[in-house]
Every structure is written in C-alpha cells, then in structure tokens.
C-alpha cells in the first residue's frame, strides 16, 4: 500500500521562510491576461516553482481580488509582484539588466521548450500572453528567445495557466 501524505507531512516551508529563501532566477510577465482565475493560477504556480517575481502588465488585474484569491490560495502573499502598465518599457529595462526575455508563443523561429537546457543565460523573464491574442508582437520583436511547447493534437494552444506550469517546470529543472 502506498499511503497518500497528509498536508502537514509534506514539510513545506512557512511563508516567512519562503519569502527569505533564494529564488530561482525566473521572472514571470503577464501580458494582458484577462481571466482572474488564470492570474491566480499564475501566482500559485509561481510559488510552487520558486519564482522571483511576477509583473502584471496592461489590462492584467491586480490583487487583492476575490477571483484571483480563489485560485492563488494565498500565493499573492508569498510571491513578489508589481504592476507595470507598459510591457515594452519593462522588457527593455529587463534586457538592459542582462535578463534574457523569453516569449512563450508560436512564431516562425522558435526554441522548442525541451531545448531550454541549452540556453546559457543566468536569469530569465518569461512572457505569457493574452488568452486570445497571445504575446504582443512588439514584445516578440524585443525578446531574446521565442519558446514553443510542442503539441501533438488538433488544438493550436493550451490554456495560459496550464502553459505556465509546463514552462516553469522545464525552467525549474535547470536550477534544481
């Protein structure tokens, strides 16, 4: 028999310890994400994968909000975040700081997600786009890399918060 663990047996750190621990060199940027549930899911996933910070850009809603809180389950209190109206200015700032900007998108020239281990940059900002229109073209043009998740079915895309879980796990493997 393989007994399922109780929550208290998982030995997770408390909020204060988490806030003080060294984070993976990962930043998440939300480009006009409309769904409050998706935003909350990003916070929860960022907590799970030890992300340094989330930037909420454009029309992306900000905590506190009941619908964000419902899916974030408290992660809005553990993850550093900041609102920035202009994503293009943010991307330029991050690139000036030597942070590799990666748009998660389907484009003419992409790096497939399973190839991220070959990227030698020391810090990454991952841009996730709007549920309908994806990442802004201006951001794609300014990105160091365009990353694509290979897909093998009939659909052309994944839910953006599902996409975040897949991408963040692939990057987390670089740092564990």
Both tokens assigned to 102: 């990666």
Domain boundaries, the chain: 21-175
- What distances in angstroms separate CA 87 from CA 3, 45, 109, one per listed residue? 46, 21, 22
Predicted TM-score (pTM) of the model is 0.97
What's residue 10's pLDDT? 94
End-to-end CA distance of the chain: 30
pLDDT for the residue numbered 49: 98
Among 3.40.50.620, 3.40.50.300, 2.30.42.10, 3.40.1280.10, name the CATH number for the domain at 21-175: 3.40.1280.10
Blockwise average pLDDT, block size 10, the chain, 176 residues: 94 95 98 98 98 98 97 97 98 98 97 96 98 97 98 95 98 95
> Residue 163: its pLDDT value, please?
98
Q: What is the pLDDT of residue 32?
A: 98
Q: Who contacts 91 (Cβ-Cβ below 8 Å, separation ≥6)?
A: 29, 101, 125, 127, 139, 142, 143
Structure confidence at residue 141 (pLDDT): 98
98 in Cβ contact with 73 (< 8 Å): no
């Amino acid at each position: 028999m393989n007994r399922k663990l109780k929550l208290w047996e998982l030995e997770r750190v408390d909020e204060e310890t988490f806030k003080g621990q060294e984070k993976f060199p990962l930043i998440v940027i939300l480009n006009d994400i409309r769904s409050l549930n998706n935003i909350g899911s990003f916070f929860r996933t960022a907590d799970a994968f030890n992300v340094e910070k989330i930037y909420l850009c454009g029309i992306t809603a900000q905590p506190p909000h009941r619908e964000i809180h419902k899916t974030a389950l408290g992660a809005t209190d553990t993850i550093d975040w900041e609102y920035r109206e202009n994503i293009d200015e943010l991307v330029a700032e991050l690139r000036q700081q030597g942070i590799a900007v990666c748009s998660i998108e389907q484009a003419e020239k992409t790096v497939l997600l399973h190839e991220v281990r070959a990227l030698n940059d020391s810090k990454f900002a991952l841009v996730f786009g709007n549920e309908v229109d994806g990442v802004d073209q201006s951001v794609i043009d300014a990105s160091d890399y365009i990353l694509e998740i290979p897909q093998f079915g009939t659909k052309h895309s994944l839910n953006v918060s599902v996409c975040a879980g897949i991408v963040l796990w692939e990057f987390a493997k670089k740092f564990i």
